[in-house]
Amino acid sequence: MNIESDDKLSLSGLESHFSEDYLHFAGLVNPSEKSDREAGAIWELLSLKQGGSVLELGCGYGRITNRLAEKGARVVGLDLSPILLKKAKQDAAKRQVEVEYILGDMRSFSWRDRFDAAFLWYTTFGYFDDADNERVLHAAASSLKKGGRLLIDQVNRLALLRDKSPACDVVQRNNDLRIDIMTNDALTERLNSERIVVRNGCVRRTRLSIRTYGFPEYVRMLRSAGFATVEAFGREGGIFASDGPRLVVLAHK
């Protein structure tokens, strides 16, 4: 099921995908050393400093948010999954850091000129249709102070066009399996994923659809949202390559 334009269908689809099953395999998909490295890259890309205010949209279970708080940032994390936010708060308490976690929709929030920086990491941009995706960018821009930075990490669409479709990815934890079948639709420019989880004798299926954008589209959307400059990087801030796996976009307000 693609992400529908109707809010209720859209949000319910996302919530079912980012569930306790998602957490069950999270440590295998994103081990601690990977999260440490990514948090360091985000810190550098956003030119963060101790005491700086940062917003993560689609913060999930706080694997990046809490690490930035450990580095001294004042962090707010927003997500629509109560299950993931509960885990994020537990991890923050374990690390003895203070993070403001908020249950909400990234398309609409009321902060104005509050943050030094904001980011969407690990393909958390593109869940909706084009109009709503641009609403996310406008909301993010409004939340930033003058001179604020916005960072977006997404799968590189050019690499998707090269790779065979469908593709299959399997993660195993003891006797439990997570199978992702991913299909790239070049006509709609959406990456569609069917996830099959086999766990505790039960089989559960969820579907997720993500709109992928090229760099020129990001430039147009971000400038329309009020950003002055837009830069492109590759995975974790490296040099962008057309055949590389990630496109990282950095915009300055």
Confidence of residue 13 (pLDDT cuts 50, 70, 90): confident
Q: What is the pLDDT of residue 164?
A: 86
Range of lowest pLDDT (46-55, 78-87, 159-168): 159-168
Q: What is the pLDDT of residue 7?
A: 47
Rounded to whole angstroms, how far apart are CA atoms 146 and 124?
Answer: 24
Per-residue pLDDT, averaged over 227-242, amounts to 98
Confidence of residue 6 (pLDDT cuts 50, 70, 90): very low
- 167 part of a folded domain: no
Q: What is the pLDDT of residue 12?
A: 65
Confidence of residue 163 (pLDDT cuts 50, 70, 90): confident
- 175 part of a folded domain: no
Q: SS in 3 state form for 88-113?
A: HHHHHHHHCCCEEEEECCCCCCCCCC
Number of domains in the chain: 1
Q: What is the CATH number of the domain that holds 102?
A: 3.40.50.150
The string of pLDDT tens digits covering residues 149-159 is: 999 999 999 99
- 93 part of a folded domain: yes
Q: Is the pTM of this model over 0.85?
A: yes
Confidence of residue 8 (pLDDT cuts 50, 70, 90): very low
Per-residue pLDDT, averaged over 190-199, amounts to 97
Q: Are 226 and 253 in contact (CB under 8 A)?
A: yes
- 197 part of a folded domain: no
Question: Residue 32 pLDDT more than 90?
Answer: yes
- 165 part of a folded domain: no
Q: What is the pLDDT of residue 10?
A: 59
Pairing of strands 167-173, 53-57: unpaired
Q: Provide the domain limits for residue 80.
A: 7-156+213-252
The string of pLDDT tens digits covering residues 109-145 is: 889 999 999 999 999 999 999 999 999 999 999 999 9
The string of pLDDT tens digits covering residues 66-99 is: 999 999 999 999 999 999 999 999 999 999 999 9
- 176 part of a folded domain: no
Q: How many residues does the chain have?
A: 253
Is 19 exposed, middle or buried, given 0-12, 13-18 or 19+ CB atoms closer than 10 A? middle
Confidence of residue 14 (pLDDT cuts 50, 70, 90): confident
Rounded to whole angstroms, how far apart are CA atoms 78 and 127?
Answer: 15
Question: Residue 62 pLDDT more than 80?
Answer: yes
**Order of strands across the sheet with 167-173?**
167-173, 176-185, 190-199, 202-211
| Residues of the chain above pLDDT 70, percent | 95
- 201 part of a folded domain: no
Question: Considering the chain, what is the average pLDDT of its residues?
Answer: 94
Q: What is the pLDDT of residue 181?
A: 98
- 74 part of a folded domain: yes
Rounded to whole angstroms, how far apart are CA atoms 73 and 45?
Answer: 14
